[in-house]
Amino acid sequence: MRVAKSLLLGTAAGLIAVGGAQAADLPVKAKAVEYVKVCSLYGAGFYYIPGSDTCIKLGGYLRAEVALNAGGNYSAQYNNVFAANNRLTNYYSMRAREDLNIDTRTATEYGVVRTYFDAVFTWTTGNYVGAGSGTGATQYSGTLGLNAAGTGLIGSSSGAVNGTDGNLSGGALGVYYAFIQFAGFTMGKSVSQFDAPWINYPGNNFDQLVGGSGSTNGVNQFTYTFDFGQGVTAAISAQDQTQVYQTAIWNTAGMSTTGVLGGAYGSNNLGGSTSPDIVGMVRVDQAWGLFQASVAAHDNHVAYYGASEATGHPEDKWGWAVQLALSIKNIPTGAGDVINISGVYTEGASRYNFQELAATSYSMFGSSSNAYQSIGFAGVSDAVFGPGGNLELTKTYGFRGAYTHNWNPYWNTALYGAWAAVNYSGTAKSLICGSAAFATLTGTCNPDFNIGQVGVITRWTPVKGLTFSADFTYSHLDQKYSGVITTPALTTVAKPAAAYELKDQDTYSLLLRAQRNW
């Protein structure tokens, strides 16, 4: 019995062990896989982030382009070595850029919470700059240093998106937009509420159109938007003026002949930031198009008359700007054709006319039959003052617009143009023209000027998301000086001490671009 009992117990133990091993091999119920699901709440391209109720969309573009006879990255030859018309001037400038944007949205009891981020990675051809040399030869220096030949390629300036970054393996990173939207509020870096919806581009690729505001790279702001329904909205905004909404407050005590010919009527005496710009906007957006009215208030806060606080200072003056914008759609010339136009007036707030990518100093050289060469120069400011005087606000006005026609689903052409005028007060003109900087001028002194631009662009989109374009722009500087001025050597552009005729100047540029949107 004892032997049989031992045998039965041993067999049972073996069966239990085998049964346990088999049970361990049986499949168990796995956790559900969290697949990426389409989010249809906010349009095409959104997906739910797995494990959350937040929807995300990724987008961007890759761009390759070359600008001919331009001012570095795509702009015009308005100043510096670009407008010298000598061997320092680049005949072309090349750029490659990748843009990445991330859009997230979450539905809450307070409405949609949205975050948006847009960054660009850019590589642009570098440029040379004249530094002068005591040996009589022209020497060029840059942030990359001089080579054995005494030349140096200018690299990026603090990673500025719109600077040059011609390092062999370098480049620049720029943050265009980074903002939160919640319960009607927009907080962070976004397009100014003053801007028309097309910002600087009513139909063009050209960056430097005057005649209106444009914060292409975004501006820090705190905004509340009222939505009245039926396409009617309004906004009130406090935005950072120091980022892109200041030009210059010139102290004419700092004027020099070389500075004037570079488009600067004195030293720029901006004080510290004291108040953001206050912006208001009303917009009507309908099937026929869009109408928008914008206003802005801008505090001009200056530093001191002299080198220290003991010298005193002018009192602040508030400037202002107003802009009207109109877009007309569904015009009878063709499906998708559109007309975009805007007009602006400013007083002591010139950046709302000469937008952040537009030039605010002009120094363009050309030929002359009466002097060594000719020059057209001009400058834009928010205000001007002299020793012991008050701020004299600068007035500007202008417009810009474009007509875009679609020939077929693959081809379209836009005609565009812009014009802006700058007017200085009588007191400001006396301060500028009475300076010793104009002592060698034989002729008329008047710092007022106009700048006009006209262009045509044609785009070909052979497949969805891939566009090739050619954009030609002509610019005319209508300056109000006349006669001849004698100047010391202008070493930064390799110009000798000589007599220069003062006259209007023209320039043109061409941009060839390939862009893949995704």
Give the DSSP letter string of 395-431: EEEEEEEEEEEESSSSEEEEEEEEEEEEE--HHHHHH
Lowest mean pLDDT among 55-69, 151-165, 384-398: 151-165
What pLDDT sits at residue 151? 35
Confidence of residue 36 (pLDDT cuts 50, 70, 90): confident
User: 199 and 212 in contact (C-beta within 8 Å)?
Assistant: no
How many angstroms separate the CA atoms of 79 and 263, rounded? 8
Joined together, the tokens standing for residue 293 give 């009215």
Lowest mean pLDDT among 140-149, 473-482, 485-494: 140-149
Average pLDDT for 362-374: 96
Give strand ranges (E) for 240-337: 249-251, 267-268, 277-286, 289-300, 317-329
What pLDDT sits at residue 18? 41
Average pLDDT for 423-448: 97
Q: Is the torsion defined by CA of 475, 480, 484, 487 positive or negative?
A: negative
What pLDDT sits at residue 444? 97
- CB burial of residue 260 (10 Å; 0-12, 13-18, 19+): buried
How many angstroms separate the CA atoms of 93 and 265, rounded? 30
Q: 3-state secondary structure string, 157-192?
A: CCCCCCCCCCCCCCCEEEEEEEEEEECCEEEEEECC
pLDDT digits (tens, 9 = 90+) for 418-430: 999 999 999 999 9
What pLDDT sits at residue 330? 86
- Terminal Cα-to-Cα distance of the chain (whole angstroms): 84
Joined together, the tokens standing for residue 258 give 């070389």
Q: What is the DSSP letter of 314?
A: P
Q: What is the CA radius of gyration of the chain?
A: 30
Q: Which of 217, 226, 269, 280 is nearest to 246 (CA)?
A: 269
What pLDDT sits at residue 21? 43
What pLDDT sits at residue 155? 33
How many angstroms separate the CA atoms of 51 and 71, rounded? 49
Greatest alpha-carbon pair distance for the chain in Å reads 136
Q: Is the pLDDT of residue 11 over 70?
A: no
Q: Is the torsion defined by CA of 457, 460, 464, 467 positive or negative?
A: negative
Joined together, the tokens standing for residue 309 give 């606080």
User: 456 and 470 in contact (C-beta within 8 Å)?
Assistant: no
Q: Strand, coil or helix: what is 317?
A: strand
Tell me whether strands 395-406 and 441-444 are parallel, antiparallel or unpaired. unpaired
How many angstroms separate the CA atoms of 297 and 272, rounded? 17
Joined together, the tokens standing for residue 444 give 């008329």
Q: Is the pLDDT of residue 401 over 90?
A: yes
User: 361 and 477 in contact (C-beta within 8 Å)?
Assistant: no
Q: Which of 405, 477, 409, 472 is nearest to 448 (CA)?
A: 477
How many angstroms separate the CA atoms of 201 and 342, rounded? 11
Average pLDDT for 5-31: 45
Question: Residues 162, 176, 105, CA angle at the centre, nearest 5°?
Answer: 165
Q: Among all chains, which residue has been given the structure tokens 């007191």?
A: 427
Average pLDDT for 480-489: 96
What contacts 73, CB < 8 A, 6 or more positions away? 67, 93, 95, 124, 162, 164, 207
What is the rounded average pLDDT for all residues in the chain?
A: 87
pLDDT digits (tens, 9 = 90+) for 135-173: 333 333 223 333 333 333 333 333 333 345 656 667 888
Phi/psi of residue 438, nearest 5 degrees:
-105, 15
pLDDT digits (tens, 9 = 90+) for 91-131: 888 999 999 999 999 999 989 999 999 999 998 876 665 44
Tell me whether strands 172-182 and 185-190 are parallel, antiparallel or unpaired. antiparallel
